[in-house]
Structure 1
Amino acid sequence: MAYKPSIDPWINVNMGDVADLDYMQAVKRDYFRGDDSFFKNITPDELIAEMDGNGVEKALVTYSLEDPKAWILDFPKRYPGRFFLAVVPDLKRGMKTLWELEELAREYPVALARVAPFQLNVAPNEALYFPFYSKCIEMDLPVGINTGICGPPLPSECQNPMHLDKVCHHFPELRLIMQHGADPWWDFALRLMIKYRNLYMMTSAYAPRHFPASLLHFMKTRGKKKIMFASDHPVLSIERCVREAHELDVDEGLLEDFLYNTAERVLFGKRHSRYGEFAIDSYTRDTMRDIKKEA
């Protein structure tokens, strides 16, 4: 089957490095019931083959500033215009991690900064996050925050999307993306997206065939430009998520928005940084120029 073009904003290429974490073993065993492919490090060539086989044009690979893996930076180097970085800052280190984020974004195409509140057990409306939000607003860098009950057997109340109500109110310039859906607080999340124009959701780690009826209704009505596809590969495979997305009961225009257009606009649209141009600006501009030449 020929699939429509898509963007995948959540791919983990270093799952093999976290196999010794007890809570990740529990995620594999009890939550996703994963097979041996769950804990595997992925090479750029392997991932490109997987993407090409499923119509994925661009992908974000996760890069942590708490435990940086230099080899992950080879992805955008090897395949410019195909791979971009989703950077996880170490908020416990305050401004130091934010200066590292800014420095990294000057050299590499950083498309997103993301955090998972369950790893800190601190809700995203607490002061720990405020410098992070301010820095990302100044960089015009979108922020992803996990919402919903997390897969690991760890406290999840900090990921209730209602915590984002104050965040969106106090930081209206921040482009904020709820990650991993919002189960079981879908209605809160959908209502907040109606309320705040810069609040979005990606469906990473949530198989499309399990989307709740309320989410599908929102996608077809007031949320047509609010929801973006993502897999969480290899936790949920690209192949499965793309295939199940094409099986959704939605029209072609909405499917294109879900798979591609919303992510393209939110993650790769024109930046207006207060610090001048970052690497992603030239990556995006040069890639578009090359595409036009080939055409």
Structure 2
Amino acid sequence: MRYESAVDFDAIEAIDVHVHYETDTCDHHSLPQEYMDASAAYFKGGERIPSIDTIADLYRKLNMAAVVFTVDARTQLGHLPNSIDDLVAGTQKHNDVLIPFGSVDPRTGQDAIDEAIRQVEELGVWGMKFHPSLQGFDPSDPQYRPLWKTISDLGVTALFHTGQNGIGAGMAGGGGIKLGYSNPLLLDDIAAEFPELRIIMAHPSVPWQDEANSIAIHKSNVFIDLSGWRPKYFPQSLVGYMSNMLSDKVLFATDYPLLAPERWLADFAELPIKDEVRPKIFKQNAMRALGLK
């Protein structure tokens, strides 16, 4: 199965660039159960593991497209990820609204590079998702440069978790997850060394929002997605820049199913952002971040 998009980007109203695929068709979950339970308690959302059909139905109803992914953290968690092939099959079934991103575990070395190539060239994924804290690695470490070069050469987007971690929150020792690996400054070296690589820094990067703002303003190839936080809780420095220096760099994103789009949209409508910037945030900036224009 290879993904071929049928999304009508002129017709849709928005692109949610951050949606989780939490269970595959074999009923395998993306995380060990204790992490799933802890994250459900932390986010206090609705259904924690919607099917790919449920995800598609939601975004079709909203007249939106959604970027869907899982995370390969097999080394750190000792838990195999959801099948990327299964994800691609599901997004191809719903290719009018869903866009697949792949994921590899950087700590597997050459295997990660080979698998990234397979996922892009054979499966047709449009990007790669990384979660440095969950995967337990420092993205600025030189040993991972061959992987970043490969992704850059493949011409797809790299999406990195940054900031606070809902996964592991409330567990003893945070479930062994180290927040420091999600400092956005660790991505600045990558953005500088691989200027053709489009990078999305996921989430308001609490407690490092000023760092994230600075990188996105300084590096033309870096974007910020607005997922994982209800907009009414966004850091003021981020909100303040959205209508000016970051107006072309921030992206609509929810973190569904951890945060429902309807709740995000209701909060976002109340933010003091210029009307002419809102269409950029909802769709135009994502088109550029995905390499569509």
Taking structure 2 as the reference length, what is the TM-score of the superposition? 0.82
Give 1:48's aligned residue. Answer: 56
Alignment of 1:26-45 (within 5 A): 26-29=38-41, 31-35=42-46, 37-38=47-48, 40-44=49-53
Q: Give distance in 2, aligned partners of 1:170 and 1:43.
A: 36
Higher helix share: 1
Q: Is the 8 A contact 2:163 2:183 kept in 1?
A: yes
Q: What is the one-letter code of the residue matched to 2:217?
A: I
Structure 2 residue aligned with 1:61: 68
- How far does residue 54 in structure 1 lie from its aligned partner after superposition? 2.4
- Once the two structures are superposed, what CA deviation does each residue of 1:255-294 show, in whole Å capped at 9, x if it has no partner? 1111111111211415xxxxxxxxxxxxxxxxxxxxxxxx
Consecutive unaligned residues in structure 2, runs of 5 or more:
1-11, 73-79, 169-173
User: Judging changes above 3 Å, is the alpha-carbon distance between structure 1 residues 21 and 127 closer, same or farther for their aligned structure 2 residues?
Assistant: farther
1:1-295, aligned counterparts within 5 Å?
Answer: 5-15=13-23, 17-18=29-30, 20-29=32-41, 31-35=42-46, 37-38=47-48, 40-44=49-53, 46-56=54-64, 58-64=65-71, 67-69=81-83, 70-151=85-166, 152=168, 153=174, 154-269=177-292
In the alignment, structure 1 segments of 5+ residues that lack a partner are 271-295
Distance 1:19 1:130 in 2: 27
Stretch of structure 1 that moved more, 208-217 or 99-108:
99-108
C-alpha separation between the residues in 1 aligned to 2:209 and 2:43? Answer: 20
Post-superposition shift, 1:128? Answer: 3.7
Secondary structure of the residue aligned to 1:248 is coil
- What SS does structure 2 have at the residue aligned with 1:104? helix
Does the 8 Å CA contact 1:89/1:101 hold for their aligned counterparts? Answer: yes
The CA distance in 2 between the partners of 1:63 and 1:28, in whole Å, is 16
**Structure 2 residue identity aligned to 1:229:** F
Contact 1:60/1:86 (8 A) holds in 2 = yes
State which drifts further: 205-214 or 47-56.
Answer: 47-56
Please tell me whether the aligned partners of residues 148 and 184 of structure 1 are also in contact (alpha carbons under 8 angstroms).
yes
Q: How many residues align?
A: 262
Letter paired with 2:257 = P
- Whichever residue aligns with residue 50 of structure 1, its letter is L
Aligned-residue sequence identity (percent) comes to 23
